[in-house]
Amino acid sequence: METRIYSNNTKYNIRQILLESIKGFKSSFYLARQLAKRDIKSQHRQSVLGIFWVLLPVVMNALVWVFLQGTGVINLSDTGIPYPVFVLIGTTIWSIFGECLNMPMTTVNSNRSILTKINFEKEALISLGFIKLFFNLTIKLSLILFFLIYFQILPSQTIWLFVPFLIVMILLFTSIGVLLMPLGVLYNDISKLIPIGLQLLMYVSPVLYAVPKSGLMQKVMYFNPLTYLLMDIRNSLTGMPIAHWMFWGVLVLVTFFLSLIAMVVYRVSIPIITERMSA
């Protein structure tokens, strides 16, 4: 009779895990695409307004602030571009930021049934989240394009930086979301804290108003790294100069290493999470 001895081995080969993760993304992309089609169709099938629900939170938030600024209830500093464009781009970028953070937890939680019953490459769930994210992103960017044309804002050569900047942002915050995912799936407190934290962080970031020329809020915003990210992504769309090249150089390196760490953490943690879900 064959004898097998099982031992608790906590040593991981990082390189091997990364290679397996990359293979997992490649081999499971077709499955992710099919799941994305299913989710998108079911999401909008019984909805009268359809894909407009993707735009509604962004549009409503922007309209409130445009109304407050237009009626003089609040007096905001000059933004350099028409305020409706400023606030729409800001709220759109912020909504993408929030979706990236929540996407890993939301995708894993919403696919518990197949996660615990079907054997497949679990990277498919992250690819699924990316496909849905880019679907929503396309709709939101179409609205921004309409506003840029309406207000006759002509982009400059910096428009070519918009997509790279956006990809870096998406990868960075998705990686952070993946790192938070193991705790977020097992403990609902994390998923409840993220929206609260984002709401507070939004008011110390140049989402709804420009950085003040002086005062405490100016200092707070300059200590906030999201300030430089938001300013340059918005500037790349509106033809204004990119001012923080060193910041983006550091951010690209941080994003690269954080993405690798997230791939390893996801690959190692997802079997444990699946086991906990099945228990």
Report how far residue 121's alpha carbon sits from residue 161's, in angstroms, rounded to the nearest whole number: 33
| Pair 84, 147: CB distance under 8 Å | yes
Joined tokens for residue 71:
């009626």
User: What is the pLDDT, as a whole number, of residue 61?
Assistant: 77
Helices (H), the chain: 14-27, 29-45, 52-70, 83-110, 112-117, 123-150, 162-186, 188-202, 216-223, 225-238, 245-278
Domain extents for the chain?
Answer: 24-39+51-278
| Pair 145, 55: CB distance under 8 Å | no
Q: Determine the distance from the C-alpha atom of residue 120 to the mean position of all C-alpha atoms in its chain, rounded to a whole number.
A: 25
Flag whether pLDDT at 3 surpasses 80.
no
Of residues 272, 214, 270, the one with CA closest to residue 28: 270
Report how far residue 41's alpha carbon sits from residue 8's, in angstroms, rounded to the nearest whole number: 44
pLDDT tens profile 140-192: 888 888 888 888 887 778 889 999 999 999 999 999 999 999 888 877 777 78
Flag whether pLDDT at 229 surpasses 50.
yes
pLDDT tens profile 81-125: 888 889 999 999 999 999 999 999 989 888 888 887 888 888 999
User: What is the pLDDT, as a whole number, of residue 179?
Assistant: 93
Summary mean pLDDT of the chain: 85
Flag the least confident range among 44-48, 216-220, 266-270. Answer: 44-48
User: What is the pLDDT, as a whole number, of residue 2?
Assistant: 43
In this structure, how many other beta carbons lie within 10 angstroms of the beta carbon of residue 57?
Answer: 12
Percent of the chain past pLDDT 90, that is, above it, reads: 36
pLDDT tens profile 5-57: 434 445 568 889 999 999 999 998 999 999 888 887 776 666 555 666 667 77
Joined tokens for residue 183:
């705790």
